Structure 1
Amino acid sequence: MRTVTERAIDEPAGGEPSRDRRGLVVGLLAVLLAALLAGHRAVPNVHGIGSLLDSATPLLGLAVPLLAIAALLRRSRRALAAVLVPTVVWVALYGGAWLPPAAGDAPTALRVASQNLRSGNPDPAATVDALARTKADLIALQEVDDDRIDAALRERYPHRAAVSTVALWSRWPIRDSTGVDTGLGWTRALRAVVAAPQGDLVVYVVHLGSARAGHTATRDETLAALAATVRDDHAPRLIVLGDLNTATTDRVFAPLTRLLRDAQADAGQGFGFTWPSELPVTRPDHVLYRGLTPTAAGVLRTPDSDHRAVTAGFRW
């Protein structure tokens, strides 16, 4: 026999339509959300729509509490049950990102930081000073267009490699550096060999092509070119630092994720969003690696840039 409370939830008095039926839209939306979360890669990448959806998928979890509130307002238990479906799917896909990273026993031997400075940054010296205070051994910068940056870092980072608007500052000697062609028509990436105390380390500093809604072809081509370069690079220890203009959840990122690990995913907590700096909703900035063991990863808000910086620590 049903209680008065149960009837109040599902069967409003006065012959009104069943609240279950009025909760039908909420339930259908919940099922559609679950399907989109689980099958977003099946959405065709026409005009970059699939790529944009891939990058935004973690944010779709924000719709879950909204649907739950709507189900409660409808007082529909079936709608609430339906909301559990996208909840479970989202947790299965992304819940692990919020678990505390496993702490390693060995101390950090290498610290890196990467920052898109923003072209026209009014005070780039303040931005890079915030990076230097992290005690990073290597600082990678993109959109470098001001001589004040070198003056601010030279004393603490005596070794520098630069090509166009990307640059690397290092505490340790840089044996060699060269520009890397990513198909932009102008060189906006470099490869450097850093003589670290534990041995040589190959470091790429990269700023890939920009992407806009409906216009991702340039970015996609530059990412494919970078992946091909890394695939042909047989250095045992390698790091890619920079603004790749897309998230690791983007399907076009797959060629790189087959070659390199993501420090944020392996040693960070949370999504590590970096853009826009005031209220970041995606992560175009990355620390990718192979041949090392990550000990930490995080995000740093710095002054005067529209990106937050990314940081990571490693041991050999």
Structure 2
Amino acid sequence: MRRLPPRLLVTFAGLLMVLPTAAAASARGDDRPDRPGQPLKVLTYNIHHGAGTDGVLDLERIAKVIENSGADLVGLQEVDKHWSQRSNWVDQPAWLAARLKMHYAYAANLDLPPLKPGEPRRQYGTAVLSKSPIKDFENTLLPLYPTGEQRGLSVAAIKIRGVYLRFANTHLTSNNNAERLEQAKKVVELLDDSKLPTFVVGDLNARPNAPEIATLTKVWRDTWADVGTGPGYSSPTENPAARIDYLLHTRQKIEPLSSAVITTNGSDHLPVVATYNLR
């Protein structure tokens, strides 16, 4: 499998749109040739900054889950970038991209100054990993209530298997139903004006019968409802009882084939993976 030379990766990195709340970069990765008809694997995973249910901080464990899944596109939530001692001040999206030889883009929904002058800013948010180059990337902050935590919707533009698509990744609020519903409506507003095939993935912090999920599934198909088997519970890890992590997709050009919840103790959520045909 051919590897991209470093000078091309630098070129791809320069193509990414960088906003105050979003940073994008490219690691050395696999740029596989377009192969129409080949299945596409997509994964969503709230990684809890790499801390597992055993209390151990272990990014390698997270990387192995992603690697073993065979995912081509990955949406990660609760990702630290030089955030604090809890994650050893590591740039987690860059570390994972380098370890997995994938391209990446990062969206900082929380962006704080360093503790000491000259150190990197402390950031917390979401990340996209892709085996194909990320052509464009943008993060938009979602509605925020006074007692809430800032959330965002990051959108990557990617050409894979000859198809241009949008890959949207989000993490909706956990503690306010009204705020979460407003966030879901904003996601629809931001994404519903395009005819491009689209994935919307993430930790949505709501069960399938919630109004905010209904708001989203009026526009996009719920992959698990289409092809998943069983309840699809992804939280909490040790005794899953709720389906709150989702893979959604547009009807055009995306055909879901299968979906599964992966068992691992790497986070307080379980990852969800699905296989699709791009038509």
Establish whether TM, by shorter chain, passes 0.5. Answer: yes
Measured at CA, do residues 296 and 120 of structure 1 come closer, stay the same or move farther in structure 2, by a change above 3 Å?
A: closer
In the TM superposition, what is the alpha-carbon distance from 1:123 to its structure 2 partner? 1.1
Distance 2:40 2:101 in 1: 14
Between Structure 1 and Structure 2, the one with more helix by share is 1
Aligned to 2:41: 111
Distance 1:156 1:274 in 2: 23
Worse-superposed segment, 183-192 or 278-287? 183-192
Aligned residues: CA RMSD: 1.9
Distance 2:277 2:75 in 1: 19
Measured at CA, do residues 108 and 295 of structure 1 come closer, stay the same or move farther in structure 2, by a change above 3 Å?
A: farther
Q: Percent identity?
A: 29
In the TM superposition, what is the alpha-carbon distance from 1:149 to its structure 2 partner? 4.9
Please give the secondary structure, in 1, of the residue aligned with 2:157: strand
Aligned to 1:304: 266
Measured at CA, do residues 120 and 309 of structure 1 come closer, stay the same or move farther in structure 2, by a change above 3 Å?
A: closer
User: 1:5-16 to 2 correspondence within 5 Å?
Assistant: none
Distance 2:143 2:59 in 1: 28
Q: Alignment partner for residue 156 of structure 1, among 100, 104, 117?
A: 100
Measured at CA, do residues 301 and 138 of structure 1 come closer, stay the same or move farther in structure 2, by a change above 3 Å?
A: same
Note the alpha carbon deviations across 1:224-259, whole angstroms, 9 max, x for none: 211222223x13310011001112221332221110
Distance 1:303 1:141 in 2: 16
Q: Alignment partner for residue 217 of structure 2, among 241, 252, 257?
A: 257
Please give the secondary structure, in 1, of the residue aligned with 2:100: coil
User: 1:212-291 to 2 correspondence within 5 Å?
Assistant: 215-232=176-193, 234-290=194-250, 291=252
Ranges in structure 2 where 5+ consecutive residues have no aligned partner: 1-35, 52-56, 81-89, 109-124
What's the TM-score, normalizing by structure 2?
A: 0.69
Larger RCO, structure (CA 8 Å, separation 6 or more): 2
Measured at CA, do residues 286 and 108 of structure 1 come closer, stay the same or move farther in structure 2, by a change above 3 Å?
A: farther
Aligned to 1:170: 130
Distance 1:107 1:273 in 2: 30
8 Å contact from structure 1 (residues 157, 169) kept in 2: no
Distance 1:155 1:172 in 2: 16
Note the alpha carbon deviations across 1:146-177, whole angstroms, 9 max, x for none: 42453243253431111011000100011100
In the TM superposition, what is the alpha-carbon distance from 1:137 to its structure 2 partner? 0.3
In the TM superposition, what is the alpha-carbon distance from 1:107 to its structure 2 partner? 6.3
Distance 1:265 1:155 in 2: 33
User: 1:72-221 to 2 correspondence within 5 Å?
Assistant: 109-119=39-49, 121=51, 122-145=57-80, 146-164=90-108, 165-184=125-144, 186-211=150-175, 215-221=176-182
Larger radius of gyration: 1
Ranges in structure 1 where 5+ consecutive residues have no aligned partner: 1-105
Measured at CA, do residues 266 and 173 of structure 1 come closer, stay the same or move farther in structure 2, by a change above 3 Å?
A: same
8 Å contact from structure 2 (residues 74, 129) kept in 1: yes
Distance 2:63 2:104 in 1: 14
In the TM superposition, what is the alpha-carbon distance from 1:181 to its structure 2 partner? 2.6
Please give the secondary structure, in 2, of the residue aligned with 1:279: coil
Measured at CA, do residues 129 and 150 of structure 1 come closer, stay the same or move farther in structure 2, by a change above 3 Å?
A: farther
Distance 1:205 1:286 in 2: 10
Aligned to 2:84: none
Q: Alignment partner for residue 256 of structure 2, among 287, 290, 294?
A: 294
Measured at CA, do residues 178 and 148 of structure 1 come closer, stay the same or move farther in structure 2, by a change above 3 Å?
A: closer
Note the alpha carbon deviations across 1:38-71, whole angstroms, 9 max, x for none: xxxxxxxxxxxxxxxxxxxxxxxxxxxxxxxxxx
Distance 2:92 2:215 in 1: 37
Letter in 1 for 2:189: A
8 Å contact from structure 2 (residues 74, 130) kept in 1: yes
Please give the secondary structure, in 2, of the residue aligned with 1:143: strand
Between Structure 1 and Structure 2, the one with more strand by share is 2
In the TM superposition, what is the alpha-carbon distance from 1:120 to its structure 2 partner? 6.2
Measured at CA, do residues 108 and 286 of structure 1 come closer, stay the same or move farther in structure 2, by a change above 3 Å?
A: farther
In the TM superposition, what is the alpha-carbon distance from 1:116 to its structure 2 partner? 0.3
Letter in 2 for 1:202: R
Measured at CA, do residues 119 and 155 of structure 1 come closer, stay the same or move farther in structure 2, by a change above 3 Å?
A: closer
Please give the secondary structure, in 2, of the residue aligned with 1:308: coil
Letter in 2 for 1:288: L
